[in-house]
Structure formats: C-alpha cells, structure tokens
C-alpha cells in the first residue's frame, strides 16, 4: 500500500519538473537560435498577431493580394527546426519528469518510513 504523501509528491514533482524544463529548453533555444522557441503557446500568439495584422490591413484598404502576403512566421519555419524542437522538448522533458518522479518517490519514502528503535539492550 502506497503512502499518501508519496502519492501526492510524485505527480507534483513531475509537473514542476515539466514546467521548469520547458522554460529551460525555451531559454536555451533562444540563446542558440536568437528567436522564440516554437512552443504551442508561441504559435498561438503568432497566429493571433497575424489575424490582427490582416484585420488592420483590411481596415487600411489594402488589396487582397497585399493582405495575402501577410503570413504566419511559423509557416516559414524550417522543418528541421520543428523536428529539433520536438526531439529536444520531448526527450529532455520526459527525462526530467522521470528523474523528478523517482527522486521524489525515494525522498518521500525515506522521510515517511519508520525507522526501527535503536537497540539499547
């Protein structure tokens, strides 16, 4: 039967490791490539920005051809960068998650298990 403290600590450690790992991977990506990491959040923000720019261009009376030239920067992203991000984020984050879960489980079990009384004979 699992200790309730261990049952709580292990998933929390995995979630925290995933959040920290994602931020670290995105920071590393920015340092290496000088651009934002192609995360889902960044892609959604870029799509919203493109919609706003197209809407503004329409208000300004630009032609349909000129509006069509406004593209999402994610579409111009090379496929190798997408593959690299998928690999880095997947492998790195899964490794961090597993390590954090194992460490939390071992640490919580060590803290919560009863030690035998010292033999004072």
- Read off the pLDDT band of 1 (50, 70, 90): very low
Q: Please give the average per-residue pLDDT across 20-25, as a whole number.
A: 87
Buried b (16+ CB within 10 A) or exposed e, 36-51: ebbeeeeeeebeeebe
User: Mean pLDDT, to the nearest integer, of 7-14?
Assistant: 84
- Examine the pLDDT at 119 and tell me if it is beyond 80: no
Tokens matching residue 39: 């995360």
Mean pLDDT for the stretch of residues 98-102: 87
pLDDT at 121: 59
Rounded to whole angstroms, how far apart are CA atoms 29 and 77?
14
pLDDT in tens, 25-72: 888 888 988 888 888 888 888 889 888 988 888 888 888 888 888 887
- In percent, the amount of the chain with pLDDT more than 90 equals 0
Is the pLDDT reported for residue 2 higher than 70?
no
Model pLDDT, residue 42? 83
pTM of the model: 0.64
For 53, the token pair is 């720019």
Confidence check: pLDDT of 94 > 60: yes
């Amino acid at each position: 039967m699992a200790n309730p403290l261990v049952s709580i600590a292990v998933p929390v450690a995995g979630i925290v490791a995933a959040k920290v790992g994602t931020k670290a991977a995105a920071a590393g990506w920015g340092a290496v490539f000088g651009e934002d990491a192609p995360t889902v959040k960044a892609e959604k923000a870029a799509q919203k920005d493109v919609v706003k720019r197209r809407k503004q261009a329409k208000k300004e009376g630009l032609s349909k051809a000129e509006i069509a030239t406004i593209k999402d920067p994610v579409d111009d992203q090379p496929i190798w960068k997408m593959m690299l991000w998928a690999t880095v984020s997947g492998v790195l984050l899964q490794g961090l998650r597993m390590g954090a879960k194992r460490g939390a489980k071992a640490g919580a079990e060590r803290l919560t298990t009863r030690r035998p009384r010292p033999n004072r004979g």
